Structure 1
Amino acid sequence: MSERILIVSDTHGRLNYFKEMLARTGKPDRLIHLGDSEGQQDEIARLAGCPVDIVRGNCDYSSDLAQDKLIEIGKYRVFLTHGHRYQVNFGIQTLKEAALLRGADIAMYGHTHVPIINQGRDVTILNPGSLTLPRQDGFAHTYILMEIDREGEAHFTLCKL
């Protein structure tokens, strides 16, 4: 049995690229949204049609979403956050330390709108970039596909629309 998890962030209330991503990928087994959904969390969950984990971003002003979340995906303990509280604009060290303090194998964040897959010895750090407002060179609308293979190992692919 394998599992497909879509990881997105920073949709900022605009769902056209989110819908395009779902049209391309098909229904995932799970969706993770790393904040700045700007009030669209219910619509995101409805469109995804699968279990959804969403955390609050710095632009989710009146949201009652959790700022941080620990979840289990297969054998992995995963720390979800938007990242702004961990100074991710200045690097990933503070986030990495926060993940390790929580016993996480993987930390996922957004906020910077710049994708990253950093598979370290202690913890893997992921940022899917932004589906709506990309900031990296080339300005591609990005997300990450996480696949758990039959042996329970995680694989990560940065995808562009």
Structure 2
Amino acid sequence: MRIGVISDTHGDIVSAEKAIKAMGDVDLLLHAGDTYRDAELLKEMLNIDVIAVKGNTDFDYEADLERIISIDEKQIFLAHGHQYNVKYGLDRLYYKALETESDIVVFGHSHMPLHVEEKGIVFVNPGSVSRPRGGSRHSYATINIEVDNIHVELLAFE
């Protein structure tokens, strides 16, 4: 299964569309929050399966703050990350991954792309398609899940 991952779109549908087109064919799109409405619009506009969570700026939306998704015998924990203080480290997300028996953790909030593996758990932050920070560029990620393999790519675009 090939999964596209975006986060922190903040109303910039044009950049989100650019990222999605650059991904090529994906079976599913994950949106890790800020702005939840963008995920809804992208689902309608592009006729693509989207699973999203709301972020710290999504005050007006009744939506999940986190989701657990099972795909090809792998468990994905999806959250925006603000409630886990991801700007200061991954410890709280790591323990949440253990608690939820997740193989992959997808999050956003920092607007900086990150891919690390810690004790068998894959952490993916696609960065921001609209407002990159920390010297990063507009970015997104793809995750390919095969039976015994998880392959992550962090990709940037102009």
TM range, smaller chain: over 0.9
Structure 1 residues 29-73: Cα deviation after superposition (integer angstroms, max 9, x where no partner): 100000002522321212342221100100111111100100012
* Cα root mean square deviation, aligned: 1.4
Partner of 1:143: 140
Give the AA of the match of 1:148: I
Partner of 1:68: 66
Residue 4 (structure 1) shift: 1.5
Structure 1 residues 102-148: Cα deviation after superposition (integer angstroms, max 9, x where no partner): 111111110000111011223111100000000032x3101111112
The verdict on how the C-alpha distance between 1:29 and 1:98 changes in structure 2, with shifts beyond 3 A counting, is same
How many residues are paired up? 157
Give the AA of the match of 1:157: E
Partner of 1:154: 150
Partner of 1:99: 97
Unaligned runs of 5+ in 2: none
Give the AA of the match of 2:153: T
Deviation beyond 6 Å, 4+ runs, structure 1:
none
CA distance in 2, matches of 1:85, 1:48: 30
Aligned partners of 1:78 and 1:106 also within 8 Å? yes
Aligned partners of 2:39 and 2:50 also within 8 Å? no
User: So what's the TM-score if we normalise by structure 1?
Assistant: 0.91
Partner of 1:130: 128
| 3-state SS in 1 of match to 2:37 | coil
Q: Which aligned pairs between 1:74-93 and structure 2 lie closer than 5 A?
A: 74-93=72-91
Residue 152 (structure 1) shift: 5.0
Q: Which structure carries more strand by proportion? A: 2
Aligned partners of 2:111 and 2:127 also within 8 Å? yes
| 3-state SS in 2 of match to 1:40 | helix
CA distance in 1, matches of 2:36, 2:83: 18
Aligned partners of 2:33 and 2:52 also within 8 Å? yes
Residue 86 (structure 1) shift: 0.5
Q: Identity rate of aligned residues, in percent?
A: 31
